[in-house]
């Protein structure tokens, strides 16, 4: 599927915040990375983050959990891609899965001169 992407990895000790959970800024970086990867793949070229909306940190995430990010293209325009992103984490010992965070992001396809370009779809 060209309009959907998943990533999974372990939350590492260097991702920790002062409260002992995964740092919110790290989660935001991961969401930006998966959004970027999907936008570049979908638009067949470079893309940049334009707008981030509705970030909701619902539950904290533990170090050592299996983090899974899911990104789905919801709508597209001339140059823009509106992407919904969800983050879950799994406690590998118990198998318990928690919905940690979600947001929507807009990425814009960019040409070699740094200007927006029309999406190449399909």
The binder of ligand COA chosen from 17, 49, 72, 104 (CB under 6 A): 49
Closest distance between ligand COA and the C-beta of residue 112, in Å? 12
By CB under 6 A, is residue 48 in contact with ligand COA? yes
Other C-beta atoms lying within 10 Å of the C-beta of residue 51: 11
User: Measured over all CA atoms, what is the biggest interatomic distance in the chain, rounded to whole angstroms?
Assistant: 50
Say if CB 22 and CB 69 are below 8 A apart.
Answer: no
Show Cβ contacts of residue 6 under 8 Å, excluding neighbours closer than 6 positions.
Answer: 68, 69, 70, 71
Helix or strand (DSSP H, E) at 62: none
Give the residue closest to ligand COA by C-beta: 77
Residues from 66 through 105 that contact ligand COA (CB under 6 A): 77-80
Q: Cα(74)–Cα(42) distance, rounded to whole angstroms? A: 12
Tell me the two tokens of residue 106: 């807009």
**CB nearer ligand COA, residue 29 or residue 59:** 29
At its nearest, how many Å lie between ligand COA and the CB of residue 41?
16
Q: Which is nearer to ligand COA, 17 or 82 (CB)?
A: 82
Where on the chain is the footprint of ligand COA (CB under 6 A)?
A: 48-51, 77-80, 106, 108, 110, 116
């Amino acid at each position: 599927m060209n309009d959907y992407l998943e990533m999974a990895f372990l939350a590492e000790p260097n991702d920790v915040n002062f409260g002992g959970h995964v740092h919110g800024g790290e989660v935001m970086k991961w969401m930006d990375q998966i959004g970027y990867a999907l936008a570049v793949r979908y638009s067949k070229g470079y893309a940049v983050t334009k707008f981030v909306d509705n970030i909701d940190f619902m539950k904290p995430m533990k170090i050592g959990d299996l983090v899974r990010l899911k990104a789905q293209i919801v709508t597209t325009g001339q140059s823009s891609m509106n992407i919904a992103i969800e983050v879950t984490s799994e406690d590998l010992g118990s198998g318990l899965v928690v919905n940690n965070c979600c947001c929507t992001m807009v990425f814009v396809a960019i040409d070699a001169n740094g200007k927006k370009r029309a999406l190449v779809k399909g």
